[in-house]
Structure 1
């Protein structure tokens, strides 16, 4: 009688352990199911974890260390007796495939295609650290006595060159032996800085509340202080001061006309004459040709007497006029000819008399 261990599995009546071996053999399936679908090609699908940071060549995106993929694992060679495996996986951001393989010689992974490594490796030689001895050098040290003696002499020279640095490192380490004192001084420094930061935060909150701001404030700089001293937002004079300055300007202004006012008066007189001529033409046009014979121009001479300061200003001739300017002490006497339109009824009276 066949006794089977109870593992909550169904064993069919025709199951024979000697013939089938296991339930997988009975069902002719692999224990890994879909992961072993390419096992006939020597490929096994496993969960692969990215060993370092890389850049995908397809989408140019960064893939961080530790990201996991379903990768196809395949044996591609040996390093002595250690097998070399290659892993092929699809990028989760694009359709590009990434291939990597193990490097047993350097205990690392090498990118075959599809990506570029983000260089973050620590170079021991560049950072002046002690390098591990190569395998070939170890064999030579064990078999060649002369090489071992020469290598020992080089090591002693390295030690002499490194002694000053080692002594300095030891002195620095000796200063850090009192852990309690270091911890006390560090905590005291933190308390002082925390107090200063709290005071500054209180001042910033007061400024923000006064100016109704909700943005963080930057610390003051010496350049900002100098610039603030040069700027002012208050009016330099009060309202009374402005009124007083206006009164002083008015009281200090000259009472007499200047050359500029004379030039302005001449320009105004010219505009006035042009306007009169335009009015005459308009009146003649309005009366028509029948009444134009009764309209004539009358010229009268008037004398303008103005007071001017002859000591300070030179005499000016009448611009645009026909009068003559005369100076008599402080009086400027100017004769002007004025033209006006007058109705002439002489001819009409004679015609009516006839």
Structure 2
């Protein structure tokens, strides 16, 4: 099976290339090639900017009358993508660059020309130094002076390195730490003296520090229950503190009539205790029995005031009114 691309051809052993006639081709024939723009350029016809590395279909030809050290120089023809004007440039093997011949202007051409001019001036200066002996002597003097300065700087660096080589870094760190501790102690003493001077405390006086029980003001403290005297007090409700009650208006006595006997009540309400001030039923007939109605309020007030306090008339009148309401 034959090759699809036919890269190689068969030449028989008795092949003679002289028998093949030469093809009639022009000596400087142009070829169609695909290339990219070598640099940023601007079209002189329409002003269109052509970026570097933009692809074009170009025509290539050899420059017959130019070469550089035996190297061929090629010329390329491309067309502007906007106005289809022809742009021509060629290779520059001397500067490893390209030269635009017609149809466009290269961007940053001024910078390139300035660099080349500076290079030419440097070459001319070197040639002048070689031809002028006095100029050469001056340059040698400057160069020797520069070398001496560099040698002095190197010696200084060597001395500095030798001094640093004998330095003990551990001792330096320890010394620095001791200085820091001494400085901290001095600052603490100054702070304490300032506090004493502000608060007027003496050297012997001790400062009492109050410890905060809690950081929050809203914290509710637990109530301490009162001590119990009997085991049964745990089951009983908590007693409220007794507050002495004030006497009512009708219980406040302004005094009694001197030597007058209190009449006995005609009606004795049910459930009331009656106290007699006589000898009882067996007493003398001349002395009338005096009875007193003891109510709940009067009994409490009587016990608070004392067992020997007498019941006033206003108290009896209040007791009588209470019996009617019942």
Larger radius of gyration: 2
Q: Is this a same-fold pair by TM over 0.5?
A: no
Per the normalisation by structure 1, the TM-score is 0.29
Per the normalisation by structure 2, the TM-score is 0.32
Higher strand share: 1
